[in-house]
Chain A
Amino acid sequence: MVRCLREAGGNPGRSGHRLSIEAARVVFDAREAVARLIGAPDSRQVVFTGNATEALNLAIAGVLEPGAHVITTSMEHNSVARPLRYLESQGVGLSVIQTGPAGRVDPGAVARAMRPETRLVAMTHASNVIGTVQPVEEVARACRERGVLFLVDAAQTAGCYPIDVAAAGIDLLAFTGHKSLLGPPGTGGLYVREGVTLRPLERGGTGSRSELDMQPDFLPDQLESGTPNFVGLAGLGAGVGVVLEGGVEAIRGREEGLARKLRDGLRAIDGVTVYGPDDDRHGRTVPEVGVVSFNLDGVEPSDVGYILDSEYGVLCRVGLHCAPWAHRTIGTYPRGTVRLSLGFHSTAADVAHVLGAVGEMAAEARRGAKR
């Protein structure tokens, strides 16, 4: 990114000078890298946004009009829930498929909720609260059979869980740069299957068709107006390069092992409740990403988070994680949970350290309860 600011400080594609062309190359390379990672047949179908939220809004508002019907799930983040609730107030029909506490969506329930006017199914690939991975291939099949567009929120999975948009039949896929793609905040994007046309959220300068005052009708320009964050995209391209080099399958295997250790270790601590499909009722058939939510009996999540940070140097997020629907679904609303997230750089030593910390806190809480 530093090299990018020094040597590519022009506006990508707005000019023919050296710095502008270097900036355009940076954006092109990032686009190609993302396309390769998610199995997009053509990189021009990848448009960049500021984050996954913007990408989800673009997809949702770009497809739905009053009178249309949309299906989503009770495990969604507010980045899907809020735009849909808003559109509901504007005359869009909304069905929310309720899941059990494991958070896994039944593809049959999605198919049964479809109506003649259903235009879109919007759902997360993996829960940002408990890590449950959704059966997107099955839902994609149901969508294809009924001619319904399928939008997947891959904020938790892009870079750490295999995704192939073409093979899975995903029409729209939103991603963020700042999680498992190892890029900086302020980067994200949307894959748009060729043949799917979205109404842009914004219109403006694109560096193309400059003689016309009408928005271009081709990608990526149609959905990318204004100066892009090419410095951020330099970081995103580099991050995705690291992921491609490591291989998503290998990254996934490592994270899955660590997540299992973390979940098992937490469950073994007296006074700890771990949420998600990993509990005994559901066995081990449901895949999860490295997002683990738990609570400690008798201690508020905010206190657990504070002590983990100040005494053990463990940084985690506590509360509702911008996902009130998901917390209602798993039975932790309004208290919320303590959420631990594993990533590319997490190690077995990190997991052992956290388990030791939570173990000590649980023992302390038990002593306090006895007094």
Chain B
Amino acid sequence: MHVFVVFPSTHEAMRLDHLLTQAGIEHDLIPVPRALSASCGVAVRLKPELEERVRALAEGGGVRTEGFHRLGSEGR
């Protein structure tokens, strides 16, 4: 199980990637899983226990997301 964050644009994905890297929070950038409908083709994948921290970071950094979703690690 992982949390997948999806975005309206690549810029927003890059912004969250940047914030997470700065904060030293482990994450991956991956193609958006088919099961999720999202505007931008890149998603951020996280361990579920990081979700609250990342939500707060995203909000504080003004990142626009199209949601946090829980799926199997392969995005199914």
Contact = CB atoms under 8 A, between A and B. Distances in A.
Interface of A: 12-17, 21, 24-25, 27-28, 31-32, 42-44, 206-211, 216, 218, 220-221
14 contacts: A13-B9, A13-B13, A14-B41, A16-B31, A17-B31, A24-B10, A25-B14, A25-B18, A207-B10, A207-B40, A207-B41, A209-B39, A216-B9, A221-B11
A235 to B, nearest CB: 18
Interface of B: 8-15, 17-18, 29-32, 37, 39-43, 62, 64
Contacts of A16: 29-32, 41-43
Of B18, B39, B64, chain A has the most CB atoms within 10 Å of the CB of B39
Given A14-B41, A218-B9, A24 B30 contact: no
A31 B11 contact: yes
Contacts of A218: 8-9, 64
Contacts of B37: 211
A136 to B, nearest CB: 27
A208 B31 contact: no
Contacts of A209: 8, 39
B15 to A, nearest CB: 7
Contacts of B17: 25
B62 to A, nearest CB: 7
Contacts of B30: 16
A208 B10 contact: yes
Contacts of A13: 9-11, 13, 40-42
Given A28-B14, A208-B41, 5 more contacts: A16-B32, A17-B31, A24-B14, A44-B9, A206-B9
Contacts of B64: 218
Contacts of A220: 9, 11
A42 B62 CA distance: 9
A249 B11 CA distance: 30
Nearest to B29: A21
Contact of B9 (A14, A211, A221): A221
B41 A28 contact: no
B11 A44 contact: yes
A27 B11 CA distance: 9
A28 B7 CA distance: 15
Given A208-B10, A218-B9, A15 B41 contact: yes
Contacts of B9: 13, 44, 206-208, 216, 218, 220-221
Contacts of B62: 42
A233 to B, nearest CB: 13
A210 B62 CA distance: 23
A12 B31 contact: no
Nearest to B12: A44
Of B10, B14, B17, B37, chain A has the most CB atoms within 10 Å of the CB of B10
Nearest to A31: B11
